[in-house]
Structure formats: C-alpha cells, structure tokens
Amino acid sequence: MIICVVGPTGVGKTKMSVALAKKYNAIIVNCDATQVYKELDIGSAKATKEEQEGIKHYLLDFKNLNESYTVYEYQKDARKIIENNKDKNIIFVGGTGLYLKAALYDYRFTEEDDNHIDYKDKTNEELYNIALKKDPNMKIHINNRQRLIRFINKQNVDKVEPRPLYKHIIIGLTTPRENLYRIINNRVDDMIKKGLIAEVKKFYDQDIKTKPLLSSIGYKELYKYFNKEITLEEAIELIKKNSRHYAKRQYTFFNNQLDVNWFDVNYENFNETIEKVVKFIEVNYDIKSK
C-alpha cells in the first residue's frame, strides 16, 4: 500500500511519515524538490538522521548541487522504487505536489522535453521571440526574463487521463492559517539559529550559482543579502514572506490536483493526530500495522 503525507511547509509531515512508517513497517520516499540535494539541509528542513529514526529514506539527500534533477527524472526514479518494493508498504512525504502526481498518476514526459537551458547568451528580445514561436498567444512581458525562460523550458505534459497508476491514499496535514503562519515564522527564526546563514555563505563563497540555490526559498534570499542587494533583516523577512506564499500555492495544488483527506494537527498532542490518521487508514483501506 502507498500512503502519501502532504501539506504546507512546516505543518509536521516528517513526524507523521516516520510514525506511519514505524507502524506499517514501511519505507519512505521523499517528494520535496529541494531535499533531493545534498548539503541543502537547514534551509530545506531536511529530516536529520535522528528524525528519520532508522527508517529507510529514498530520493533524499542524493543529488549534487551542480546536477540537474527534474520532475521527469523524479518520476522515473520514484516508479522504479515502487516497482522494486511491491512487497512493502511505501510512504511518500513532502510538499512538492507535482512530484507526487507525476510519480503516481498517468503523466507522460519525453526526454527531449526535459532539457533545461539557461539561455545566458540570449537577449530579452530573442527570448521573447522564442516564446512567441512556442505559443503565439503568450502574454509574458518582454522584460520579464525569468518567466520567459521558465515558459520556454516548461515541459510539455501529456495528461492522458488524470488517473492513478497505483493504489494509494493521500493524508493531508493542516492547521488554521494564522497558526500556520506563526509556525512558518518561528521555523525560519529557528533555521537562522541553527546556522542557515553559514550554510548558505559556504555556497556563496564557492561562487556556486546553480538552480537549487538561486530558486529555493531560504537560499535565494540570502544570496541577495550576500550580494548587498538587501539587509540581513530584509532577507529573513523575505524568507518568511516567500514561505507563507509558498504554503498558499501548496494548498491550491493539493486541493485542485489531488484527492486529499485532510486532518487538523493537534500540536499539543501530536499522537492524537497520528491516532486519527491511523484509524482513518485502517477503516477505509486494507492495511494493517506490523
């Protein structure tokens, strides 16, 4: 059986996934786009060895920062893990909904579509014309270089039928917006205390400017600080703001693209939330604890 644990950033997915893995003797598969990369530990809130509690984790902390890793590659890797572990319970956990849907649903990519080009040698006008050739109705402004590049590189996805390829259940963890935003703000402060600035400064000093660093929340904002574009205080507030906005986008994707069974988290007694999830799973699905 495949159990998926999703939800916005900071809601408690790691803790829930480990609890369920221990109960159902399962392996865990990461579906967070930033946590696939080595060394992006504090800023990605990657589960530590202690937090993993001896549970086997896949697709976590295994790509180098100079390596490209796309949804298409994740889909292939995740499905290989599913096929190689048919005799086991599997738990997917993470906040990147597209990764999860690409793995479990009938999404089709081609090798050619997956190539990403940075187009450093192209002017904005040249990029604009390339984008127009791809879609004459494209409305992106000629000066919005980043969006033009994203549009040009966007994979062509053939959604044959949004049907699942594997039997699975999706558990979503949630909490009221005000509480979630408080959790996110506190978590960013905790990341700073744990050494996020030093973690990012190490990459900056090595002049590493790869996509994972320049596009991931917690890293891109501190790069602006090190470039003297903003103050440290502004960078920290920007991390909080971007994290809150990301949480909104996560909710939108999960609610519109996936069949999620939502559970309000009791942070005063997390075990109570675990018990509710377990009861729901065992009443509605053919899965038993070890």
For 222-258, how does the pLDDT look when each residue is reduced to its tens digit (9 = 90+)?
Answer: 999 999 999 999 999 999 999 999 999 999 999 999 9
- pLDDT at position 146 is 83
Does residue 289 sit within a domain?
no
Q: 236 with 256, same domain? A: yes
- pLDDT at position 40 is 97
Instruction: Examine the pLDDT at 100 and tell me if it is beyond 50.
Output: yes
Q: 212 with 272, same domain? A: yes
Q: 184 with 66, same domain? A: yes
Measured between alpha carbons, how far is 194 from 259 in angstroms, rounded to an integer? Answer: 36
For 196-223, how does the pLDDT look when each residue is reduced to its tens digit (9 = 90+)?
Answer: 999 999 999 999 999 999 999 999 999 9
Q: 84 with 125, same domain? A: no
Q: 182 with 63, same domain? A: yes
State the pTM of this model: 0.82
Does residue 290 sit within a domain?
no
Q: Give me the domain span that covers residue 262.
A: 2-109+157-284
Crossing angle of helices 97-104 and 71-84, in 10° steps, is 50
Domains identified in the chain, total number: 2
